[in-house]
Amino acid sequence: MSAVVHLNRKLVLEEALRISDGAGGYVETWTQLGTLWASIQAGTGTERSEDFLTVSRVPMKVIVRGAPVGSPRRPKPDQRFIEGGRVFRILSVTELDAQGHYLVCQSREEVAS
pLDDT tens readout for residues 22-39: 888 889 999 999 999 999
pLDDT the model gives residue 14: 96
| Residue 113: pLDDT over 70 | no
pTM (2 decimals)? Answer: 0.84
Mean pLDDT of 96-104: 92
Residue among 81, 102, 85, 103 at smallest CA distance from 94: 103
Distance, CA of 42 to chain centre: 13
Smallest CA-to-CA distance from 108 within 27, 46, 39 is with 46
The Cβ of residue 82 has, within 10 Å, a number of other Cβ atoms equal to 15
Q: In terms of pLDDT, which residue wins out, 40 or 100?
A: 40
Pick from 25, 24, 108, 93: nearest CA to 63: 93
